Amino acid sequence: MDVFGLIGTPVEHSLSPPMHEAAYEQLGMDARYVTFEPPANAAATAIESAETLGVSGLNVTIPFKQDALDAVVPDPLAERIGAVNTVGFTGGTVRGYNTDAVGAVRALREHDVSLDGTAVVVGAGGAGRAVAFGLADEGMAVRIANRTVERAHELAEAVPDATGHGLDDLTALCRDADVLVNCTSVGMEKDVSPVPAEALHADLAVLDAVYSPLDTRLLQDARKMEATTVDGAWMLLYQGVEAFERWTGATAPVDAMNEALRTRL
């Protein structure tokens, strides 16, 4: 039996186990997906122990994404982002990847969004970093807006063809933008949006990384303006799909994984 898993704290409510186990069942794989909660500052020990025990692959979530970088050989994208959320044990080398960037890109492409022109990324934290690099690598000009302007400028210096801004600039930034991605937690606990409704327009594609609730105020406002909308479960799905395919070399059963994910949201 192949064992895959997730390290993080907390992980008891993670949606990764049902999503990945649906894939194993669909493909007839003898595999299981389990969760682990190592002590704080124990990312390296947890990854080393997983390799020793013969675990086939790990996902990594808060608070270990940055610490995991020092315990693996990161691919170039993970190294630039500065965080690892997927670990593979192959050929005696522990390799690290960041599939959040690919998850956002694949979620947008699934909805026929053209990744040309200008993207506005709201938030300069972990998800914002991944999405900014992912869209820049697709050739988009990236405008990063963050509550703390200094963090937006710092990230923009690392991302090709990017600029940093404060949240007060969002209306002007969105006016000519093609893609908008919310990478903050705004909208998760309160029915509010990080972007003024008047900033949205019909030529915009809007991805909200928040998936609880699934239909956020930002997406509701965007639909009213006839913008293309993509909920956060699509990004969650495709980061998992990318991890599955890296671990197994098999084509992920996306429909089965998507159904398992959405039945639990």
Q: Which residues are catalytic?
A: 65
Structure tokens at 222: 């965007």
Give the number of other Cβ atoms within 10 Å of residue 135's Cβ.
26
| CB neighbour list of residue 68: distance below 8 Å, 6 or more residues apart | 43, 44, 47, 60, 83, 84, 85, 87, 96
Q: Is the dihedral angle over the CA atoms 209, 210, 215, 221 positive or is it negative?
A: negative
